[in-house]
Each structure stands twice: as structure tokens, then as C-alpha cells.
Amino acid sequence: MASLAEAPIRMHRRDRPPSPGTVVQVVVLCGLLVLSAVPIVMMISMSLRPTTQIYTNFFALPWPLYFNNYTSALVKLIAPLLRTLLVYGLSIVVMLSLAAGASYAFARIQFPGRAKLFYLIILVMMIPGTILLTPHFILANQLGLRDNLLGLVIFYVAGGQPFAIFLLSSYFQSQPAEMFESARIDGASELRALRSIAIPLAWPIIITLAVLNFTAIYNDLIWPMLMLVSPSNQTLILALQGYNPGGGVDVISALPDVGGQAAGYAFASIPQLLVFVLGMRYFIQGLTSGAVKA
């Protein structure tokens, strides 16, 4: 009877108009959404127009649609894109493989100095990456890794280890210890327990790390700029820095080909969009579950 009596009250509360504070929040969020979308819309609009039309009327609509900018971007940027994806693929596979083994050891194996070593990893994680640029560059130069994609991979793997170990070890510790005890009783080795129990249960965190590192590696400009010299080794963001497919447009040849450049930026955004769309479910699950477990 109490639930029936409370039903009109709940319905009345549901029908009440939103408070002024809620209206203000919604308006502010909608305004921020519009402001965030304006640069993207302008980029797509410019990419679908010839550069001469852009300089003539910047706010004109892209009609008829002009796809030559994308054709040029596809031809000239596909090789840097493939190199960037190769660097990321190698980096994330090696990084997560090493981090998974180390994280399992911290979470499930007792050994002398485990706590001190873990705190040392956290301390390394707190060092800003900008401070490490100079020593990393000197080390890469001494090892002969400059102008080599392998040099990017090695330092990306090393730089991503502390955070990956911190996040994975916290998640491995949150997994039920009974499953691992049962596996040991059945004769499974620690490596088998890692491969068959810990890693399959940690896929949300693993994909979260993959997405976060993809954003960092894919958009990195400073380290490739320091490491890579030859145009044949350029990554995508480095190639976009000097991308000017037209090299000058007719009577206004001194001005950059902004239509072609906008198409290049739009082309470079596609892989990031695909990664977030495909991994968003696991990414959010990892952030809201394992990322906050201790």
C-alpha cells in the first residue's frame, strides 16, 4: 500500500519542470558542444572546397563537393600513416606483454623488495616526460637509434611501462585470489595462470591502455621530430607539419593550400575515430571499474 501511495508523489516529481540550475547547466553544455564542433565542421567544409574558393569566400558552403583534396591526401599521407600504425602496433604489443608479466609478479608473487620496487615505479611515473627528452635523445644518439623507427618503438615501450604496470597490477590484485589458488592446486604454473586467468579478465584495462597509448603515440610530434631525419621515415603527424599538397595555388601561389591541408587533417583523424568507436565500450568499462580498484 505504501508503494501505491508513493506513486502519485513520484509521478508529480517527474512532471515538475527542471530547476533553473539544471537549465543553466544544459545551456552551458550545449554551448560548449557547439564551440567544440565548430572547428571540426570548418575543417570538413574547407577540405571539400578548392583553396581558391576558400580564399574568395571563407564561409561559403562546400558545393559542389570537391574530393581532389582527399585524393591527394590519400596518395601522399598513406605511407606515413602506415609507418605510424606500425610503430604503434609494435610498441603496444611489446609494452603490454612486458607490463602484464611485471604486473602479475607485483600482484600475485611474493619476493624481497616488492613494495620498494613498486614505489620506485610510481616515482618514475611522476617524472614529467619533457624533462626526459634530453637524456633520451643523448641515449638514442649514442645507441645509433636516430632516424630509425625502432628507436621510436624502444622509447615508447620504456616510457609507457610505469603507468601500464601501475594500472594492471592494481587490477590483478582486485581479481579473486581463490581462482589462482585453484589453478595452482590443479598444477598450473604462474605463466599459465597469467595467460589463462589474469589476462582474459583484464581485457577492459588492457584495451584502456591500448587506447590511451594510441592517442599519445599517434599524436606525438616532439619525439619523432627529434629522432627522425629522413622524409622516408616520417610519421603521420610529422608529415602533416609540412604538408602543403598544392605548393601554391595559381595567382595566390604564395599562400598555403589550406583546402588540401584541411583534407590531410581530416584524413589523419579517421584512425583515431575508428579506435575510439571500436574500443569505447571497453575503454569506459576499464576507466569505471579497474582503473579505480586497488
pLDDT in the model for residue 288: 61
pTM: 0.83
Rank 66-75, 186-195, 277-286 by mean pLDDT and report only the highest. 66-75
Dist CA 94 CA 161 (whole Å)? 10
Alpha carbon separation from 123 to 97, 126, 138 (Å, rounded)? 22, 5, 22
pLDDT of residue 85: 95
SS3 282: helix
| Residue among 216, 198, 207, 218 nearest 284 (CA) | 207
List residues bridging with 285 in a β-sheet. Answer: none
217 contacts 156 by C-beta, under 8 angstroms: yes
CATH topology of domain 68-292: MetI-like fold (1.10.3720)
Q: Does residue 186 have a pLDDT over 90?
A: no
- For the chain, give every domain's residue range: 68-292
pLDDT at 291 over 50: no
Q: Is the peptide bond before 80 cis (omega within 30 degrees of 0)?
A: no
- Secondary structure class of 113 (helix, strand, coil): coil
Average pLDDT of the chain?
A: 86
11-34: average pLDDT: 81
Phi, psi of 289 (to 5 degrees): -120, -75
- Report d(CA 210, CA 154) in Å as an integer: 16
Nearest to 153 by CA among 231, 224, 244, 247: 224
Residue 101: band (very low, low, confident or very high) from pLDDT cuts 50, 70, 90 = very high
pLDDT > 90 in the chain, percent: 46
Q: What is the pLDDT of residue 10?
A: 52
Q: What is the pLDDT of residues 122-139, one digit of tens each?
A: 898 888 888 899 999 999
The whole-number pLDDT of residue 157 equals 95
> What value does the mean pLDDT take over residues 90-95?
95
In a 3-state reduction of DSSP, which class is residue 102?
Answer: helix
Residue reference for cell 584495451: 207
Positive or negative CA dihedral for 142, 145, 147, 151? negative
pLDDT band at 253 (very low <50, low <70, confident <90, very high): low
In tens, the pLDDT along 154-174 reads 999 999 999 999 999 988 988
Angstrom distance (rounded) from CA 233 to CA 5? 72
* Residue 196 CB coordination number (10 Å): 13
pLDDT tens digit sequence for 66-85: 999 999 999 999 999 999 99
Q: Where are the extended beta strands (E) located within the chain? A: none
User: Which of 90-104, 175-189, 263-277 shows the lowest mean pLDDT across its residues?
Assistant: 175-189
Is the per-residue pLDDT at 3 higher than 80? no
140 touches 71 (CB < 8 A): no
- 212-249 residue pLDDT tens: 999 999 999 999 999 998 888 999 999 998 888 876 54
Contact between 106 and 165 (Cβ < 8 Å)? yes
Dig out the grid coordinates for 12 from the structure: 508529480
Going by C-alpha positions, the residue among 220, 229, 249, 191 that lies closest to residue 69 is 249
CA angle 122-237-253, nearest 5°? 155
